[in-house]
Structure 1
Amino acid sequence: MGRWMHGPPMMRGFRPFGMPHRSNKPVELLLEEYEAIKLADYDNLTQEQAADRMGISRPTFTRIYEKARKKVAKAFVEALPIIIAGGNVKFKDKWYKCLDCNRVFRLQDSQD
């Protein structure tokens, strides 16, 4: 069962600034983990509200959220890049990505 997301992230990941490029394995943040952090920390929803928005139980949301925060903390402390990809999600709308500029967008339905 996929977890609902409003839309994909604007970026595919992050790299530490001011650190030489190392061959350390990046931290892989799943799309549902990104969404959990976005809903709880950026959108300031309660865990119950965020779980409802994602179509999952509150305990499941808590597990996803805690795992995501541990991954982000590891990346910050160890100066590792973060890759946002994979996971088990469904988007509420149809999203597209421009292959020239990498901008992500959705087309509005025309109602004539």
Structure 2
Amino acid sequence: MPNQRRQRKIQSPPPMDGFKPYGVRMKNMEKVILLFEEYEAIRLIDHEDLNQEEAAARMDVSRPTFTRIYKKARQTVAKALVEGKALLIEGGTYISENYWVRCGKCSKLTTAPDPVQNCPHCHSDKMKNIHQPE
């Protein structure tokens, strides 16, 4: 029987929901999904310049598990770039210590240790919950 999948620690969500090729309407595009933990793997390795051992420790997973997450993330990004598909960042098996909310008016992302009722940028009350800690 396989081990139960561990929740992967994510520091914060990406500042955007995804990317799409320039000049093509989103409704006409095929989409690929990059999971939050895959985004986090790319962020830790390629943006923060950590090695895989350090990145695995930050996400609270084994190094082999981290390697699989990172490999799948690279393949997903490559597919979007090479095949001209939209890249949506969502879902996965993850935990975070903060609440993640996006404003429905200005689209800004906010992370906070406590629930947020109003946007700190435009003061709107149209907040969409993306993640809440368990």
TM-score (norm 1): 0.87
Tell me how far apart the structure 2 counterparts of residues 21 and 12 of structure 1 sit (CA, whole Å).
Answer: 13
Per the alignment, residue 104 of structure 1 pairs with 109
Match for 1:46 among 36, 45, 51? 51
Q: Which runs of 4+ in 1 moved over 3 A?
A: 18-24
Per the alignment, residue 17 of structure 1 pairs with 22
Per the alignment, residue 30 of structure 1 pairs with 35
AA aligned opposite 2:8: R
CA-CA distance at 1:21 after TM superposition? 5.6
Whether the aligned pair in 2 keeps the contact of 1:19 and 1:79 (CA below 8 Å) is: no
Tell me how far apart the structure 1 counterparts of residues 97 and 71 of structure 2 sit (CA, whole Å).
Answer: 24
Query: What is the total number of aligned residue pairs between the two structures?
Result: 109
Tell me how far apart the structure 2 counterparts of residues 30 and 108 of structure 1 sit (CA, whole Å).
Answer: 22
Aligned: 1:85 with 2:90: yes
CA-CA distance at 1:7 after TM superposition? 0.6
Structure 2 residue runs of 5 or longer lacking an equivalent are 1-5, 115-134
TM-score (norm 2): 0.74
Report which structure shows greater RCO (CA 8 Å, sep ≥6). Answer: 1
Deviations 1:65-106 (A, max 9, x none): 000001101111111110000101111223332221121113
